[in-house]
Structure 1
Amino acid sequence: MPSHIDNSSESFDAIVIGTGITGGWAAKELCEKGLKTLVLERGPMVKHITDYPTMNLDTWDLPNGNQFSREDRKNYEKQLRVGWAPNPAIAHFFVNDREHPYQETKRFDWIRGYQVGGRSLTWGRQSYRWSDLDFEANLKEGIGVDWPVRYKDIAPWYDKVESYIGVSGEALGLDHLPDGKFQPPMELTCPEKELRETLSEKFEDGRVLTIGRAAHITDKTNVPEGRNPCQFRDRCWRGCPFGGYFSSNSSTLPAAERTGNMTLRPHSIVHEIIYDDGSGRAAGVRIVDAETQEAYTFNASVIFLCASAMASVGILLQSKSERFPEGIGNNHDQLGRYIMDHHYQLGANAKVPGHLNTYYKGRRPNGFYIPRFVNLKGQQKRDYLRGFGYQGGASRGDWSEAVAELGYGADLKSKVLTPGNWQIGATGFGEMLPYWENRVTLSATERDQWGLPQLDFDVAFKENEYKMREDILREIAAMFEAAGFKEVQTYERETGPGLGIHEMGGARMGHDARTSVVNKHNQVHEVPNIYVTDGAFMTSSSCVNPSLTYMAFTARAADHAAQQFKKGAFN
């Protein structure tokens, strides 16, 4: 992929800012539709396979048993709040917090990856569709603003994205969790099947358990170019050399490159979108080269902002002019507000008796999913709005269970070679409502090493989220106990917005420029050649993983932008 431009006066048809889940899709779609497209990434180049240094290493190949030293931990103080990442095997795909600081008026756990591919290299790959239960909720409940689209508008684009990225899963026939274009589902373990039967037999509110809908190729007869089926190694966050799971690096960026229309420039920190007062359009972008500190300007007719939700909001806020003194498209104080995330870090664990004659093959990079079953149509409403789902898994212990037991000789050897008992766990993911006062702003005093203002977060959960969390714990304990699992223990860890790594909002979609930032096509209301298609445009958050929805909206927006470009609408 071309990685450097010497002449910053060169013009392009389109500029895509960011190379993650949405940036890759924007690049692919615009390039395939014939637009000469510059793709900008603030981090370094990561080439598929070549730049996955730990993809085949075992724990004993890594320093300190894949544990950070005390000094190294200081570099990832905020990234480590999530509890499971980063570690030495994947730290190169997470930011160094000392080098990339931000401010917290209230705690916000901003988990980031600055490299070509962004967090598409480290995402959880869970891929679920929204339904009209989600798109209509704001309107029906008088919360926030109404979505200007409905499921029927997005369904064809879900079809397109799922067919391309490869989503394995099981059709359920649920109105509130629409089925998609699925590859064969991964298998549930025996305790997971037992729990599924319990939900069907002992609960009357339509609870179901299914294997997670995951962006992993499982159909060996229908493999996209340059990729291979999932090998069940469960080393996804290190970069998959097989391309078994979907990432920009293995899929959309190579597709864009094959067209000959893409120019990719890493180490390019976009700090401003240039507004042209004469045309009422964006004229291009200004960047700082992350390595040389040099400034560049690039011109284009179409701008796609896909830098990740909070970074995209920051770029819009920094893009000031006489027409938009508070940031481009921000004449009505909507930009940077209504920040959301999913709240989690709570659930339950239990021991599962029996099934000692069963095991599983490989390391399944997936778990089970229990879709939302509260506050649905026809149900009695609970004392909070919206709902939640659970993600979890059951597995067997290993040789370490024998360490606590006295033993020696043949008996000890036998125990070490025998799989341990089964255990099961599940984590709740709940919807967060959009609140006006939950916002991100530019710091008035703190700047980063490139002289750009740091983001300052003032975001918090409120009463609705805390009431829901009580129910999340109560319901998962009841389900495990109904299944006959033993030593059921609920847990709730210290948490705050951001840890769900599903940050959304800040440039929400709506009908009216006075109450939203982008329209139904993801265009900034007052500057229609700027499209915002990462999580910033989200008007509400649902309770399912959002990446599939981001991709569907991006493909739809790119199609709209290409049509408008060819009509000359952005000249």
Structure 2
Amino acid sequence: MAVSQNHYDAIVVGSGISGGWAAKELTEKGLKVLLLERGRPLEHIKDYPNAFKEAWDYPHRDKATEQMKQDYPVLKRDYPLNESTFGMWANEKDSPYVEKKRFDWYRGYQMGGRSLLWGRQSYRLNEQDFLANAKEGIAVDWPIRYADLAPWYDYVEGFAGISGSRDGLDVLPDGNYLPAIELNIVEKDIAARIKKTFSGSRHLICGRTANITEAKPEQNRVNCQYRAKCWLGCPFGAYFSTQSATLPAAVKTGNLTVRPYSIVTQVLYDQDKKRARGVEVLDSETLQTYEFTSKIIFLNASSFNTTWILMNSATDIWPEGLGSSSNALGRNVMDHHLNTGAVAEVEGYLDSYYFGRRPTGFYVPRFRNWGSDKRDYLRGFGYQGRASRQDWRRDIAEMSIGLDLKQALTEPGHWTIGMGGFGEMLPHHDNRIYLDPKVKDKWGLPVLAIEVELKDNEIRMRKDMMQDAVEIFEAVGLKNVQGFDRGYNPGQGIHEMGTARMGRDPKTSVLNGNNQVWDALNVFVTDGACMTSASCVNPSLTYMALTARAAHFAVEALKKGEL
């Protein structure tokens, strides 16, 4: 039995990048909003305990202990398991999942979600990204085009503060940017060599990033301090997160109520009205169950958790859950595959160095299957990388002491450069997630089973991702060029997408062109679950734009009495 009922104009589930935007937009448009977060509260600045620590300030020098590895068997597979961010990633014992095939699922259950942990690379999808599915007969067609989203990209870039260059490239549309963070001297030279060697068909630019290069006093945010400690929480508010930007804006309106420790177990569906009437919430601390009602609901719990909520909702009407009438719910999981590229040595420049710790690297936009280029696979990839003085450990003080330390800091080694590809993963119906009723989490709720793998298209693409990186470095005269492919497991890109896709037909998609669930038009999904295809660029900026667009539509529809 529910022990309490409360009504709001809108409910937002999840406080990460897209949930924070939903809360901001809806409150600023006058709606009374309840923001539900399954994890703990986390206050800007006050709750960044490690923001000013260095590696030597941790008992184990910021390395994972054996106990941590034992407690976090998934997290230990990659870089997120360490002392500096310990506690910012979901507890795997409390919140398990079933790997039918290996999937590295890294979750952030706290106020702000993974907006406190993201890599901040911020790129727009291009016009062809919205057309490719239809042209190639892959999955379903996007129900929107670049022109539909362009003004919303402008809007969110302006508020979030994206620094970047305007390069006039069709493959990577320009945006509403703050001044770019500069390439270092070696990267500038190599960028010029690439442009000349490849006759302008390939480019190296500075990574467009959600780190502000000019202060935003109206948001109490100071420009980036070049500390490169972003994922420890930024006391300066220099990078965009829920805590630094969207949450303060929503709170300022006086229209926001925030409830942490609130696990949304289902959307409550009114069969007669064919609308949702609210959500059911399990308090993770008291284990009490509550019902909250609203006119509209935004599901922004992150791709897989949003889909979990839908699968657990209205099962008396649709056994597979709300939105499952299309047989697309939980299907078409996508990520970006990575861990392949090249490294090289750069001769000269020994009298040149750089200052500070730049929070971004360089970016090489996609050039395969673009224009006249045709490959034996579909879509393409971009590269992210950087050039620096070797050895990087010379900047880490605990690697040497005394005289050795001084010499290491005053005598940097030669320059090296490296870059790794991020490749597009096509949507496949059999790459899926679903509820496993046999396995329960700490709260007795069914968990997700994940069954995802790379297909032939991605495997063929990976060969080019390494070989092209080698080709570029060799072509511009770098030495000791070495390609690498360290292997990839789905999930490692931490860009899970696609399990409740947008589309034009309720028979083949979960959402319409306004991010509404076809089966309950007052339920909106604007996190990664809504993606119809993945492109090869980092997706968070697109989630922001889609959320702002959907919030505007929702409020206008409410005014018209359509919801």
CA contact (8 A) 1:217 1:223 kept: no
Aligned to 1:131: 126
Instruction: Find out whether 1:538 has 2:531 as its counterpart.
Output: yes
Aligned to 1:75: 71
Aligned to 1:245: 239
Aligned to 2:478: 485
TM-score under structure 1 length normalisation? 0.95
Match of 1:152 among 147, 155, 161: 147
Q: Deviations over 1:47-78 (max 9, x none)?
A: 00011110111111111111121011122221
Q: Deviations over 1:355-412 (max 9, x none)?
A: 11111110000000000011112x1311000000000011113585699xxxx99899
Matched residue SS, 2:60: helix
Q: Letter of the aligned partner of 1:28 in structure 2?
A: K
Aligned to 2:304: 310
CA contact (8 A) 1:229 1:242 kept: yes
Q: What CA distance in whole angstroms lies between the structure 1 residues aligned with 2:288 and 2:424? A: 42
Please state how far the C-alpha of 1:205 moved relative to its aligned partner: 6.1
Unaligned runs of 5+ in 2: none
CA contact (8 A) 1:347 1:473 kept: yes
Matched residue SS, 2:437: strand
Q: Letter of the aligned partner of 1:241 in structure 2?
A: P
Aligned to 1:48: 44
Q: Letter of the aligned partner of 1:392 in structure 2?
A: G
Q: Deviations over 1:202-259 (max 9, x none)?
A: 1146100000000011024x54412111111000000000000000011101100000
Match of 2:56 among 48, 56, 60: 60
Q: What CA distance in whole angstroms lies between the structure 1 residues aligned with 2:285 and 2:364? A: 46
CA contact (8 A) 2:344 2:482 kept: yes
Q: Which segment drifts farther, 6-15 or 345-354?
A: 6-15
Instruction: Find out whether 1:21 has 2:17 as its counterpart.
Output: yes
Please state how far the C-alpha of 1:99 moved relative to its aligned partner: 2.1
CA contact (8 A) 1:388 1:428 kept: yes
Alignment of 1:194-233 (within 5 A): 194-204=189-199, 206-220=201-215, 222-233=216-227
Q: Which segment drifts farther, 558-567 or 520-529?
A: 558-567
Matched residue SS, 1:299: strand
Match of 2:540 among 547, 553, 557: 547
Match of 1:522 among 515, 518, 528: 515
Q: What CA distance in whole angstroms lies between the structure 2 residues aligned with 1:415 and 1:257? A: 48
Match of 1:234 among 228, 232, 251: 228
Q: Which segment drifts farther, 509-518 or 223-232?
A: 223-232
CA contact (8 A) 2:3 2:288 kept: no
Q: Deviations over 1:294-323 (max 9, x none)?
A: 111111110000000011011100113332
Q: Letter of the aligned partner of 1:164 in structure 2?
A: F
Match of 1:370 among 356, 359, 364: 364
CA contact (8 A) 2:250 2:256 kept: yes
Q: What CA distance in whole angstroms lies between the structure 2 residues aligned with 1:47 and 1:413? A: 38
Q: What CA distance in whole angstroms lies between the structure 2 residues aligned with 1:135 and 1:161? A: 19
CA contact (8 A) 1:169 1:186 kept: yes
Q: What CA distance in whole angstroms lies between the structure 1 residues aligned with 2:470 and 2:217? A: 40
Please state how far the C-alpha of 1:33 moved relative to its aligned partner: 0.5
Q: What CA distance in whole angstroms lies between the structure 1 residues aligned with 2:437 and 2:283? A: 23
Please state how far the C-alpha of 1:547 moved relative to its aligned partner: 0.3
Instruction: Find out whether 1:298 has 2:292 as its counterpart.
Output: yes
Please state how far the C-alpha of 1:194 moved relative to its aligned partner: 2.1
Unaligned runs of 5+ in 1: 1-5
CA contact (8 A) 2:340 2:487 kept: no
Q: What CA distance in whole angstroms lies between the structure 1 residues aligned with 2:337 and 2:220? A: 36
Match of 2:445 among 444, 452, 471: 452
Instruction: Find out whether 1:112 has 2:112 as its counterpart.
Output: no
Matched residue SS, 1:298: strand
Instruction: Find out whether 1:33 has 2:29 as its counterpart.
Output: yes
Go from structure 1 to structure 2 and tell me whether the alpha carbon gap of 1:350 and 1:569 turns closer, same or farther (over 3 Å shift): same
Q: Which segment drifts farther, 197-206 or 110-119?
A: 197-206
Q: Letter of the aligned partner of 1:290 in structure 2?
A: S
Please state how far the C-alpha of 1:277 moved relative to its aligned partner: 1.2
Go from structure 1 to structure 2 and tell me whether the alpha carbon gap of 1:212 and 1:411 turns closer, same or farther (over 3 Å shift): closer
Aligned to 1:3: none
Q: What CA distance in whole angstroms lies between the structure 1 residues aligned with 2:404 and 2:442? A: 60
Go from structure 1 to structure 2 and tell me whether the alpha carbon gap of 1:401 and 1:564 turns closer, same or farther (over 3 Å shift): closer
Instruction: Find out whether 1:394 has 2:387 as its counterpart.
Output: yes
Q: Which segment drifts farther, 196-205 or 31-40?
A: 196-205
Go from structure 1 to structure 2 and tell me whether the alpha carbon gap of 1:411 and 1:556 turns closer, same or farther (over 3 Å shift): closer
Instruction: Find out whether 1:259 has 2:253 as its counterpart.
Output: yes
Q: What CA distance in whole angstroms lies between the structure 2 residues aligned with 1:409 and 1:553? A: 53
CA contact (8 A) 1:76 1:95 kept: no
Match of 2:506 among 513, 521, 529: 513
CA contact (8 A) 1:79 1:112 kept: no
Q: What CA distance in whole angstroms lies between the structure 1 residues aligned with 2:38 and 2:311? A: 17
Please state how far the C-alpha of 1:566 moved relative to its aligned partner: 2.0
Q: What CA distance in whole angstroms lies between the structure 2 residues aligned with 1:410 and 1:166? A: 43
Go from structure 1 to structure 2 and tell me whether the alpha carbon gap of 1:337 and 1:202 turns closer, same or farther (over 3 Å shift): same
Q: What CA distance in whole angstroms lies between the structure 2 residues aligned with 1:516 and 1:118? A: 27
Q: Deviations over 1:186-207 (max 9, x none)?
A: 1111221122112111114610
Go from structure 1 to structure 2 and tell me whether the alpha carbon gap of 1:34 and 1:548 turns closer, same or farther (over 3 Å shift): same
Q: Letter of the aligned partner of 2:531 in structure 1?
A: M
CA contact (8 A) 1:200 1:206 kept: yes
Q: Which segment drifts farther, 200-209 or 57-66?
A: 200-209
Q: What CA distance in whole angstroms lies between the structure 2 residues aligned with 1:427 and 1:380? A: 21
Please state how far the C-alpha of 1:324 moved relative to its aligned partner: 2.1
Count of residues in Structure 1 that have an aligned counterpart in Structure 2? 559
Aligned to 1:556: 549
Q: What CA distance in whole angstroms lies between the structure 2 residues aligned with 1:216 and 1:464? A: 34
Q: Letter of the aligned partner of 2:164 in structure 1?
A: G
Go from structure 1 to structure 2 and tell me whether the alpha carbon gap of 1:262 and 1:202 turns closer, same or farther (over 3 Å shift): same
Q: Letter of the aligned partner of 1:27 in structure 2?
A: A
Go from structure 1 to structure 2 and tell me whether the alpha carbon gap of 1:33 and 1:374 turns closer, same or farther (over 3 Å shift): same
Q: What CA distance in whole angstroms lies between the structure 2 residues aligned with 1:7 and 1:187? A: 56
Go from structure 1 to structure 2 and tell me whether the alpha carbon gap of 1:317 and 1:86 turns closer, same or farther (over 3 Å shift): same
Matched residue SS, 1:30: helix
Q: What CA distance in whole angstroms lies between the structure 1 residues aligned with 2:73 and 2:461? A: 29
Q: Letter of the aligned partner of 1:66 in structure 2?
A: D
Q: What CA distance in whole angstroms lies between the structure 2 residues aligned with 1:537 and 1:414? A: 53
CA contact (8 A) 2:214 2:222 kept: no
Matched residue SS, 2:250: helix
- State the Cα RMSD in Å: 1.9
CA contact (8 A) 1:205 1:373 kept: no
Go from structure 1 to structure 2 and tell me whether the alpha carbon gap of 1:52 and 1:415 turns closer, same or farther (over 3 Å shift): closer
Please state how far the C-alpha of 1:569 moved relative to its aligned partner: 2.1
CA contact (8 A) 1:402 1:412 kept: no
Q: What CA distance in whole angstroms lies between the structure 2 residues aligned with 1:157 and 1:430? A: 25
Please state how far the C-alpha of 1:335 moved relative to its aligned partner: 0.4
